[in-house]
Amino acid sequence: MSDIFPKWTNQLPIMAGIAAAVLGATALAGITYYVTPKYTRVGYQPKQPVAFSHSIHVDQLNLDCRYCHNGVEKSWFSNIPSSSTCMNCHGQVRKDSEKLALVRESYASGKPISWVQIHKVPDYVYFNHSVHVNRGISCVHCHGEINKMDEVYHAKPLSMSFCLDCHREPEKFVRPNELVTKLDWKNEGFDGKKAVHDWKIQPGQSCSTCHR
Amino acid sequence: MRKFLIFFLATWALAVVAIISVAGLRGGLSRKPPLEVFPDMDRQPKLRPQTTTAFAGFADGQSSRLPVAGTVSRESFREADEFSTGKKADGAWVDSIPLTVSRELVVRGRERYDIYCSPCHGVAGDGNGVTTKFGMAAVAKLHDERLIKIADGELFNTISNGKNLMLPYADKLEPRDRWAVIAYVRALQLSRLGKKEEIPDAVRATLK
């Protein structure tokens, strides 16, 4: 028989087993690392039709988020500002700038600028902005340090576990409600537990909280 | 045997390096839209706000619709009264805020003022907001005599409809918020007009 199967074939099953284990572990590691919103969504930075810089407007000029996103406290949806909002200032400030040509054109024609939406939860997730910003949850938790971004990118995974991390322990995330748009705020002694109790914050964890 | 092992490990290492160099690491910036690994019903044919639609009924292709001409939403409808126009029935300006001015209203006014007004008019109303450093001209100083004497209704009208180079702020401030801002502006003005005698005794004692 030894003529048909040389001696090294005795090791073949062990070798094949080890190879399968190595490849399996690699595939598993790859899937764990890549097949998650931490990889698929984070870092998305589309080119926008107008090179608007949040870092200039918020960090340097100190505009409040709500100057432009003025619907965020009232609506489930945080609106992209109309071109007329830009023109409140840019009717005079840098009014001939080439970079703002599209804004002026849109203001004159009434045809909206086609901004590219970056943060998109799936359509079966019913996220409500107003309920969060009116209960001490800052923009920064879901959008990252957008005040420092020259060009906006998707900074947080916005996955289901990301939402649940906060829904399970809201006291670690709430802040005084008047500071939700102060993205740089650091918690120095704010009692989140008390706020959660006093404001009757009861973040649901059942499916129907977010899925309907 | 050893040759085979080396070949296997080398191929494996090469594959890993190739995958990482193509796929990159977590958090790397990319212009490409996110991959949806299991796209089950992630994107549904329903319309979301401020997006485009191919629906033929909406000729301009916009999902967010303007009110049909001649209609008013129930939510925002108000009679054209003093509260929503700042004018009396005879067209004259309303003299004073048609609401009970409470601390709560002034605090709300301060918050709204700081968001929507301070970029030009300055946090204290001196007309020196940050935009004035970048070419915003003719910003009103809210402590000017003219604006101290102006009727509340006329201020309301300016906020609602704009004036000269200032565009309307009706889309950002609901009528109640506009009155709240006016209450706060009056408080700002008073802060410069007050007399020493008007300070409560207890507070005056603490001042130098």
Tell me whether residues B36 and A45 touch, CB distance under 8 A.
Answer: no
More confident residue, A44 or B5: A44
Nearest CA in chain B to A42: B27
The verdict on A76 touching B (C-beta cutoff 8 Å) is no
The verdict on B45 touching A (C-beta cutoff 8 Å) is no
The verdict on B30 touching A (C-beta cutoff 8 Å) is yes
Is A93 a domain residue? no
Tell me whether residues A45 and B35 touch, CB distance under 8 A.
Answer: no
Query: What would the two tokens of residue A145 be?
Result: 């340090």
Is A197 a domain residue? yes
Sign of CA dihedral B46, B50, B56, B58: positive
Closest CA to B20 of A26, A140, A113: A26
Share of chain B above pLDDT 90, in %: 61
Closest CA to A171 of A129, A135, A131, A208: A135
Tell me whether residues B115 and A15 touch, CB distance under 8 A.
Answer: no
According to the model, what pLDDT value does residue B35 have?
A: 82
Is A25 a domain residue? yes
Cβ-Cβ contacts under 8 Å, A109 against chain B: none
Q: What is the mean pLDDT of residues A119-130?
A: 94
Tell me whether residues A93 and B136 touch, CB distance under 8 A.
Answer: yes
pLDDT, tens only, A148-204: 999 999 999 999 999 999 999 999 999 999 999 999 999 998 999 999 999 999 999
Tell me whether residues A44 and B171 touch, CB distance under 8 A.
Answer: no
Is A94 a domain residue? no
Per-residue pLDDT band for B204 (boundaries 50, 70, 90) equals confident
| Residue A112 pLDDT greater than 70, yes or no | yes
As a whole number of angstroms, the distance between CA A183 and CA A145 comes to 7
Tell me whether residues A62 and B130 touch, CB distance under 8 A.
Answer: yes
The SS3 call for residue B61 is coil
Are A122 and A183 within one domain? Answer: yes
Q: How far is CA A166 from CA A31, A157, B150, in A?
A: 25, 13, 49
Number of domains in chain A: 2
Selecting from B41, B42, B111 the residue whose C-beta is nearest the C-beta of A178 gives B111
Written in H, E and C, the secondary structure of chain A is: CCCCCCHHHHHHHHHHHHHHHHHHHHHHHHHHHHCCHHHHCCCECCCCCCCCCHHHHHHHCCCCHHHHCCCCCCCCCCCCCCHHHHHHHHCCCCCCCHHHHHHHHHHHHCCCCCCCCCCCCCCCCCCCHHHHHCCCCCHHHHHCCHHHCCCCCCCCCCCHHHHHHHHHCHHHCCCCHHHCCCCCCCCCCCCHHHHHHHCCCCCCCCHHHHCC
Is A207 a domain residue? yes
Tell me whether residues A26 and B42 touch, CB distance under 8 A.
Answer: no
Query: What would the two tokens of residue A68 be?
Result: 């432009």
Q: What is the mean pLDDT of residues B168-184?
A: 95
Is A41 a domain residue? no
As a whole number of angstroms, the distance between CA A155 and CA A144 comes to 5
Are A74 and A168 within one domain? Answer: yes
Which of B115, B161, B163 to mutate against chain A (most A CBs within 10 Å)?
B115
Which of B5, B42, B51, B178 to mutate against chain A (most A CBs within 10 Å)?
B42
Which of B29, B44, B158, B165 to mutate against chain A (most A CBs within 10 Å)?
B29
Cβ-Cβ contacts under 8 Å, B130 against chain A: 61-63
The verdict on B100 touching A (C-beta cutoff 8 Å) is no
Is A188 a domain residue? yes
Per-residue pLDDT band for A97 (boundaries 50, 70, 90) equals very high
As a whole number of angstroms, the distance between CA A101 and CA A87 comes to 11
Query: What does pTM read for this prediction?
Result: 0.89
Domain that holds residue A158: 70-79+116-212
Chain centroid, CA B117 distance in Å? 10
pLDDT, tens only, B125-164: 999 999 999 989 889 999 999 999 999 999 999 999 999 9
| Residue A1 pLDDT greater than 60, yes or no | no
Query: What would the two tokens of residue A212 be?
Result: 């309907």
pLDDT, tens only, B24-66: 899 889 999 888 878 888 999 889 999 998 888 888 899 998 8
pLDDT, tens only, A5-60: 888 788 888 888 988 999 999 999 999 999 989 998 999 999 999 999 999 999 99
Determine the CATH number of domain B96-198: 1.10.760.10
Nearest CA in chain B to A181: B115
